[in-house]
Structure 1
Amino acid sequence: MEIEYYTDPLCCWSWALEPQWRRLRFEYSGRVKWRYRMGGLIPNWESFNDPMNVVNRPLQMGPLWMEAKYVSGMPIRDKIWYENPPASSFPACIAVKAAGLQSPVASEAYLRKVREAVMLQGQNVGERDVLRQVGRSLAEVQPDVLDADVFERDLGGEEARKAFEEDLRQVRLHGITRFPALTMRREGEENGVLIIGYRPYEALRTALYKVAPELEPVQHTTDEFEYRRYWGSITERELEEVLKGTVS
């Protein structure tokens, strides 16, 4: 199975989906491949407009994040939108691609850390210094995953920017207008399924089965400490999702 996940570090609904997305990757470990496409949610506030949620300036983003917090149960620092609002999500998207130049593992680890920085800590991830600090913090904890000096070099380089531009091209090519969006298909095949927006775990699993009916989970857990060790950094909502019990 191949999954392409269209997302953005500043997408609150992608953060809201983390419990279900992590559970899927845990239970089907080794059975699915995935890659992230950065969606470029907010180029700048002069051009951004979300008519569905009536958002075209930073203050209006706060209530949307508050909704995501209460619907999903994930902790979110919605006050950032009037305390220190990011001017754009493009720098954070490019930073994820810069980390990804080292490895897919680095890309995933950095994306998680930059999400935690804004969603849990209320940091302005539109600022280059904040993005550098996220990279340094990750490198201190996982030096085998990310080299901070290489990351900072790549952060201002052309290769990361071009990788982000390719992601934006894929977003346009597939007509993705909302995040999160996940395409699921068998490896090497063109046809598959598309899931858009925040969904319960059962919706993700059902989509997998539409593409690969024979696919079964390879592991479950009811051990809180095992799951914490597996991910390292985890929220209580993410833990709750996997401890709900197995779905038959």
Structure 2
Amino acid sequence: MTDGRQLPPVVEVVEYTDPMCPWAWGSEPVFRALRTALEGQVRWRRVYAILFDHDDDPPPDPAAETAWYARYVADVTGHTGAPRARELSRMPASSWPSSLVAKAAERQGGQVAERVLRRLRETLFVLGEPADTHESALSAALGVPGLDPRRLSADSRSAAVLEEVRADRAEARRPVREVLVAQDGSPHPGTAKETADGGHRYALPTLVVRAPETRRAVPGWRSFEEYATALRVVRPGLSTTVGGLPAHEALERHLSLTDPERRVLADGPWPPPRASRVDTGNGPLWLHPEEAARHPACGRRTPSAP
């Protein structure tokens, strides 16, 4: 029953991602701007695609594999401008632990989930330590404001969250037909990847924008305007205007900003007072002082993981 007014149609933005994907990490400036502009207008849903799976063959030469992946990440961040760790300790062994923890964090609200996922990404791409065990993934989240770490530990080990991530993995392996054909226009065009069983999965990241009567897929590493155009096609009238906050307010809202992000999300002189700078192999990461006090890059002062 309604009061006679027509309810606005639902628009869903589905983000296919993985906490350990360097292209997804490099897309965060645009995605953070999009999420800010679209707040209250769309439903944004993340699907964890499992980039590093349980059944992947272990590398015959772990040191060589780590060196190869470090070069790959350096090449990606050369395009995106995102920070990369000065040294990578090892090749990520599995995406499951970080995906389970990220999915479990969604049960504690959107803001907590955003900040937990951010920490998981930073563990690899800032510190060079993949959160590829359950313990390291939980440890990465310690100190996130508003987080209940005991609940996160329990939820991330639950059968319900495991089923949700299994469903995510399966959904990511049913890509829409538009991304099966060759894409272009980007260093990472986003054509769907072939899987070992002869199927396909979305390249990461991919956004699929859906309304009841239409959809648009935007795969790979893309500009803000390409995403905004897809959104306006699916639902004319959506506002995609991004207004930068004063520098101190932007850092207070996001807690952690890369240089590419602060150029999009912050206005005025940079850095704001008391911001902490973490140097990486490809530019700084800027932390709010309260985040710096509990961030592993700054020797946080928090209790151990439950």
TM (normalized to structure 1)?
Answer: 0.83
Task: State the secondary structure of the residue aligned to 1:182.
Answer: strand
Aligned 1:1-248 pairs, distance under 5 A: 1-44=11-54, 46-47=56-57, 57-77=65-85, 79-80=87-88, 83-138=89-144, 142-143=145-146, 146-174=147-175, 176-186=201-211, 189=212, 191-217=214-240, 220-221=243-244, 223-242=246-265
CA, structure 1 residues 67+109, in 2 after alignment: closer, same or farther (shift >3 Å)? Answer: same
Q: Please tell me whether the aligned partners of residues 66 and 78 of structure 1 are also in contact (alpha carbons under 8 angstroms).
A: no
Q: What is the deviation of 1:204?
A: 1.3
Q: What is the deviation of 1:45?
A: 7.6
| Cα distance per residue 1:100-150 (max 9 Å; x no partner) | 233343322211111111111222200222112123222xxx12xx21011
CA, structure 1 residues 36+190, in 2 after alignment: closer, same or farther (shift >3 Å)? Answer: farther
Instruction: For 2:161 and 2:16, locate their aligned partners in 1 and report how far apart those are by CA, in whole Å.
Output: 17
Instruction: For 2:223 and 2:109, locate their aligned partners in 1 and report how far apart those are by CA, in whole Å.
Output: 29
Q: Please tell me whether the aligned partners of residues 29 and 218 of structure 1 are also in contact (alpha carbons under 8 angstroms).
A: no
Q: What is the deviation of 1:190?
A: 5.2
More strand per residue: 1 or 2?
2
RMSD: 2.5
Higher Rg = 2
Q: What is the deviation of 1:30?
A: 1.9
| Cα distance per residue 1:164-193 (max 9 Å; x no partner) | 00101211223533100111123xx15210
Instruction: For 2:111 and 2:249, locate their aligned partners in 1 and report how far apart those are by CA, in whole Å.
Output: 20
Amino acid at match of 2:71: P
Q: What is the deviation of 1:7?
A: 0.1
Instruction: For 2:110 and 2:117, locate their aligned partners in 1 and report how far apart those are by CA, in whole Å.
Output: 11
| Cα distance per residue 1:201-224 (max 9 Å; x no partner) | 111111111212222246512632
> Gapped runs of 5+ residues in structure 1?
50-55
Instruction: For 1:2 and 1:227, locate their aligned partners in 2 and report how far apart those are by CA, in whole Å.
Output: 26
CA, structure 1 residues 152+41, in 2 after alignment: closer, same or farther (shift >3 Å)? Answer: same
Q: Please tell me whether the aligned partners of residues 183 and 194 of structure 1 are also in contact (alpha carbons under 8 angstroms).
A: yes
Q: Please tell me whether the aligned partners of residues 250 and 266 of structure 2 are also in contact (alpha carbons under 8 angstroms).
A: no
Q: What is the deviation of 1:94?
A: 1.2
Task: State the secondary structure of the residue aligned to 1:230.
Answer: helix
CA, structure 1 residues 219+69, in 2 after alignment: closer, same or farther (shift >3 Å)? Answer: closer
Q: Please tell me whether the aligned partners of residues 94 and 161 of structure 1 are also in contact (alpha carbons under 8 angstroms).
A: yes
Instruction: For 1:60 and 1:157, locate their aligned partners in 2 and report how far apart those are by CA, in whole Å.
Output: 35
Instruction: For 1:25 and 1:177, locate their aligned partners in 2 and report how far apart those are by CA, in whole Å.
Output: 21
Task: State the secondary structure of the residue aligned to 2:143.
Answer: helix
Amino acid at match of 1:67: D
Task: State the secondary structure of the residue aligned to 1:101.
Answer: helix
More helix per residue: 1 or 2?
1
Q: What is the deviation of 1:78?
A: 6.4
Task: State the secondary structure of the residue aligned to 2:256.
Answer: coil
Task: State the secondary structure of the residue aligned to 2:257.
Answer: coil
TM (normalized to structure 2)?
Answer: 0.68
